[in-house]
Copies of this chain bind each other. A is one copy, B any other.
Amino acid sequence: MTKLLLGPGPSNVSPRVLEAMARPLVGHLDPAFLAVMDEVQGRLRGLFGTQSELTLPLSATGSAGMEACLCNLLEPGDDVVVGVAGVFGERMCDVASRIGARVTRVETEWGTALDPAAMAAAVARVRPRVVAFVHAETSTGVCQPVAAIAARARQQGALVVLDCVTSLGGIPVTLDAWGVDAAYSATQKCLSCPPGLSPVSFGPRALERVRGRSRPVQSWYLDVTLLAGYYGAERVYHHTAPISMVLALAEALRIVDEEGMEARERRHREAAAALLEALAPLGFEPLVATEHRLPMLTTVRLPEAVVRRGEAALRRELLQRHGIEVGGGLGKLAGAVWRIGLMGENARPACVTRLLAALRDLL
């Protein structure tokens, strides 16, 4: 039985993407492969809404994309303001402090949106080199107000770093219009490609900052000036790209572009609405207020019946008896919510129907 992956990622992938994974290998400097890499970079620029040359699939998962953005832009002693509204904002603080940056946290209750005024006040006070936050917080299901936060950060001369792990390919991402300088995503969410790559994009202000560093980037593997040699026109050997994963991502991006982001966003929003409508009679209630709710990841408070039964046990039964995976709560929300992803290929009414039937059977 093919499992239905309705957790916070990975999502199910199209047979076309699986077929691409299974193609015979070619060399990582083979002209045929470099043409696919060019195509991937071009399609990623389109999806990220950016003209930035240095847009590429990093050879590691989304968390490495976070680290790449922060470690290229920050040096020890630099200030960074981080919006903390869930697990992934917390992770940004951890990553930045390991780099030696001074971290100023702007927090909000999990399940709510960051306050742009509070972010702006911290930025005005600290005058940080970098302001970093998460577009679609995968631990809470909240969509953060990117444009408002980014605009004020830039007014103060800060570089803006944005986590687009769960948003890219599900809702519009427009880095250039927002004024975001560096962003990262992951393949296994709304792009419906297996996990293993992290699409990243560095804009001109970010690159200028990297070139002006007083010491080398701490990571050889993630140094964008080295990556630029391979992913730019020269194609200088840096590391061996994960060839099959790049072929799969190319196919996944073709599928996204064939559908178009407008239709794709609508499909995600309709699926999320259908999900909440279906779950309401069972007593599941949305954690997040309507205006901040993400479509591709819905966090629901658990009804008494589920809590009594043990939510983890029920998720196990869902997986074992019905082949459906949903996500538990992370961090502060562990045991209190489920995270149900309708991402990419799975943002369809049929997935909601199958989940609902399984839940009715179990409850």
Which A positions have Cβ atoms within 8 angstroms of B?
2-3, 5, 7, 9-13, 18-19, 21-28, 30, 59-64, 67, 71, 91, 94-95, 97-99, 186, 188, 194-196, 216-221, 237-245, 248, 319, 325, 330
The answer for the CA separation of A22 and B221 in the assembled complex, in Å, is: 28
- Which listed residue, B3, B91, B195, B243, touches A220 by the CB 8 Å rule? B91
Decide if A239 touches B194 in the complex (CB within 8 Å): no
Chain B residues in 8 Å Cβ range of A59: 60-61, 64, 196
* CB atoms of A195 and B67 under 8 A apart: no
In the complex, which of the residues A26, A60, A98 has the most CB atoms of chain B within 10 Å of its own CB atom? A60
**Interface contact B21-A196, CB-CB below 8 Å:** no
Closest to A196 in B: B242
Residues of chain B with a CB closer than 8 A to A218's CB: 98-99, 218-219
Task: Decide: A330 and B237 in contact? CB cutoff 8 A.
Answer: yes
Closest B residue, CB atoms, query A247: B194
Asked if A13 meets B25 with Cβ closer than 8 Å, knowing A220-B94, A239-B62, the reply is yes
4 tightest A-B CB contacts, nearest first? A196-B242, A22-B22, A60-B60, A194-B244
User: In the assembled complex, which residues on chain B have CB atoms less than 8 Å from the CB atom of A21?
Assistant: 18, 21-22, 244
Q: Nearest residue in B to A60 (C-beta to C-beta)?
A: B60
Question: Hey, which chain B residues are within 8 Å of A237, CB to CB?
Answer: 330
Tell me the smallest distance from the CB of A222 to a CB of chain B, in Å.
9
Q: Does A220 contact B13, Cβ atoms closer than 8 Å? A: no
Q: A61-B239, A98-B218 are in contact. List 20 more A-B contacts (CB 8 A).
A: A2-B24, A5-B25, A5-B27, A9-B240, A18-B24, A21-B21, A27-B325, A59-B196, A60-B60, A61-B242, A64-B64, A195-B240, A195-B241, A195-B243, A196-B196, A196-B242, A196-B245, A218-B218, A218-B219, A242-B245
Q: Known contacts being A62-B239, A217-B98, A240-B61, is A18 close to B10, with CB within 8 Å? A: no
Report if A220-B24 is in contact (Cβ < 8 Å); known contacts: A9-B240, A194-B242.
no
How many angstroms between the C-alpha atoms of A212 and B14 in the bound complex? 46
When chains A and B are docked, how far (Å) is the Cα of A242 from the Cα of B219? 21
Of all chain B residues, the one with the shortest Cβ separation from A9 is B240
Task: Point out the residues of chain B lying under 8 angstroms from A11, CB to CB.
Answer: 25
Question: Which of B12, B23, B97 sits near A25, CB closer than 8 Å?
Answer: B12
- Which of the listed residues A11, A19, A25, A195 has the most CB atoms from chain B within 10 Å of its own CB? A25
- The answer to whether residues A243 and B67 also contact, given A7-B27, A10-B25 and a CB cut-off of 8 A, is no
CA distance A220 to B92 in the complex (A): 10
